[in-house]
């Protein structure tokens, strides 16, 4: 069983399909956690207890042998076809600069308008996480200012503050890396929620009430990029 620090944390969502694996070792060279086992030429497998679920092996396997086992595409399509359901795409900031490459565009090309158009055409309502990302920056920045006031300027500060330096807490893979491999540094993590976490909290206030209660049922589908490097 993989080690978990958070309640309801999902583990083991990245898997190698041994029937497709060629044992080429490419995934090992991209794994930042030494979580992939297997000799060169033999089937490889992921050690869930070490895995960060960052997805680097998945996007770099030349044989498509690695998969994300949490696939909700069919469920989302079903919800989009249900006229009594409002489906909200909660779009993380990085998606608009990562998605274009999947459609043959230059890596990093900004395709915000095309992405919005495609989501609307598919039937989604859109909740852009850029707003929540700004909130995360404000929270993290305020926390950092308070730490500087306390530790550098020796001024009084309110609340419990971890030590400097302060590390971002935005990326789940990064947080898991720290929890598993450098638990002694956890107090350096910012206490701010990630942009997606902020957006999830803000959803009730930002969505029209009729989309949440009454005859309509709101189903919120998060769209996010799992690349963390
Ligand atoms: S990169 Fe893909 S094919 Fe190569 S060893 Fe890893 S899982 Fe197997
Ligand atoms: S998901 Fe990341 S940490 Fe896990 S095996 Fe793949 S590259 Fe390694």
Q: How far, rounded to the nearest angstrom, does the alpha carbon of residue 77 sit from its chain's CA centroid?
A: 21
The string of pLDDT tens digits covering residues 119-139 is 999 998 888 888 888 999 999
The string of pLDDT tens digits covering residues 144-191 is 999 999 999 999 887 789 999 999 988 888 999 999 999 999 999 999
Ligand 2 center from residue 210 Cα (angstroms): 41
What is the architecture, at CATH level 2, of domain 14-68?
A: 2-Layer Sandwich (3.30)
The string of pLDDT tens digits covering residues 13-53 is 999 999 999 999 999 999 999 999 999 999 999 999 999 99
Q: Which residues pair with 88 in a beta bridge?
A: 125, 220
Residue ranges per structural domain of the chain:
14-68, 72-229
Helix (H, G, I), strand (E, B) or coil at 15: strand
- Ligand with smallest separation from the Cα of 13: 2
Question: Whose alpha carbon is nearest atom 4 of ligand 1?
Answer: 24
pLDDT at 210: 41
Task: Match 């890596």 to its residue by tokens.
Answer: 107
Q: How far, rounded to the nearest angstrom, does the alpha carbon of residue 28 sit from its chain's CA centroid?
A: 22
Give first-to-last CA distance, the chain, whole Å.
26
> How many residues are given for the chain?
229
- Ligand with smallest separation from the Cα of 36: 2
Question: Whose alpha carbon is nearest atom 2 of ligand 2?
Answer: 54
Indicate if the pLDDT at residue 218 is higher than 60: no
What φ, ψ does residue 165 adopt, rounded to 5°? Answer: -75, 160
Is residue 163 within 8 Å of 188, Cβ to Cβ?
Answer: yes
């Amino acid at each position: 069983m993989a080690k978990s620090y958070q309640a309801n944390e999902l583990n083991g969502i990245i898997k190698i399909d041994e029937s497709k694996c060629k044992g080429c070792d490419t995934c090992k060279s991209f794994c930042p956690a030494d979580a992939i086992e297997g000799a060169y030429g033999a089937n490889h497998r992921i050690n869930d207890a070490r895995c960060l679920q960052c997805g680097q092996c998945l996007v770099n396997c030349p044989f498509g042998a690695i998969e994300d086992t949490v696939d909700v595409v069919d469920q989302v399509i079903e919800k989009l076809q249900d006229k009594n359901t409002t489906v909200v795409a909660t779009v993380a900031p990085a998606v608009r600069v990562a998605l274009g490459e999947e459609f043959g565009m230059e890596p990093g090309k900004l395709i915000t308008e095309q992405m919005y158009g495609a989501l609307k055409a598919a039937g989604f309502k859109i909740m852009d996480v850029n707003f929540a990302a700004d909130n995360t920056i404000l929270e993290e920045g305020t926390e950092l200012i308070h730490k500087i006031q306390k530790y550098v300027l020796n001024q009084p500060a309110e609340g419990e503050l971890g030590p400097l330096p302060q590390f971002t807490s935005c990326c789940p893979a990064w947080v898991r890396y720290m929890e598993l491999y450098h638990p002694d540094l956890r107090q350096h993590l910012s206490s701010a929620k990630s942009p997606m976490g902020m957006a999830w909290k803000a959803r009730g206030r930002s969505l029209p009430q009729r989309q949440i209660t009454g005859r309509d049922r709101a189903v919120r589908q998060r769209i996010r990029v799992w690349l963390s490097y």
